[in-house]
Amino acid sequence: MRVAILTAMIACLTCVSVDACPCPKIPTKTAIRDAGAIFTAKVVSYKQGFSGEYNYGQNFPFIHPSQNWEINTAFSVSKVWKGTIPQEIILQSRTNRCSGQFTPGEEYLVYAYWMENNLITLPCTRTSLLSNAGEDLRALGAGQPPLKVQKLTDRLFVIGRLVIIMMLVAGAIRFGSRMVRRKKSASF
């Protein structure tokens, strides 16, 4: 009898399915409303590291390591639906073992959120591979091109050329005025 009860208990325990990634499915309209920025982009690069944070919960021992990873992800943006996003942007990405990781070279529909005055990506959102984002893309409609930002080096090059031209013009004016003075003093 004890063997039968023990066998039944072991069978019940092994049949229990535990979801290691309990991310709730967020409705599309809610995700669009809550996001600080929504855009499609190709992942150019990332740098990964452990966040070292702790979550405070109601379960014993009340303090749990977050097991979150921070990744600085560089994106090349192709379309924007929400927010003012440049063609190239680097965001901090929070991930966990369930979601939030990006693969360089892949294209994503990214839902970014404001946290401490920075746009970041989070796990358990509607961010997904572009090929899996059909429902979201239909709800979003037509996107806009990203903000074109001139690189600082390009601006400095233009400013440098203007300064050189202005110096040449000023030098020519000064040279011309000296020549006029010499002619006037030579004629007296």
**Which pLDDT belongs to residue 174?**
83
Give the pLDDT band of residue 17 (cuts 50, 70, 90). Answer: very low
Residue 59 has pLDDT above 70, yes or no: no
**Do the domain assignments include residue 10?**
no
Tens digits of residue pLDDT in 89-116: 888 877 766 666 788 899 999 999 988 8
Q: Are residues 162 and 108 in the same domain?
A: no
- What CA–CA distance (Å, rounded) separates 10 from 7? 5
Threshold 0.85, pTM exceeds: no
Percent over 90 (pLDDT), the chain: 27
Range of 10-14, 64-68, 184-188 with top mean pLDDT: 184-188
Of 146 and 55, the structure prediction assigns the larger pLDDT to 146
Domain range holding 104?
A: 22-140
The CA dihedral of 116, 41, 96, 31, to the nearest 10 degrees, is 70
Of 27 and 54, the structure prediction assigns the larger pLDDT to 27
Q: Are residues 77 and 156 in the same domain?
A: no
**Do the domain assignments include residue 188?**
no
Nearest 5°: the CA angle 20, 22, 57 is: 95
Q: Are residues 166 and 95 in the same domain?
A: no
CB 95 within 8 A of CB 123: yes
Report, as an integer, the average pLDDT of 142-158: 73
Q: Are residues 100 and 160 in the same domain?
A: no
- Closest of 69, 86, 76 to residue 121, by C-alpha: 69
- What CA–CA distance (Å, rounded) separates 77 from 167? 40
Q: How many domains does the chain have?
A: 2
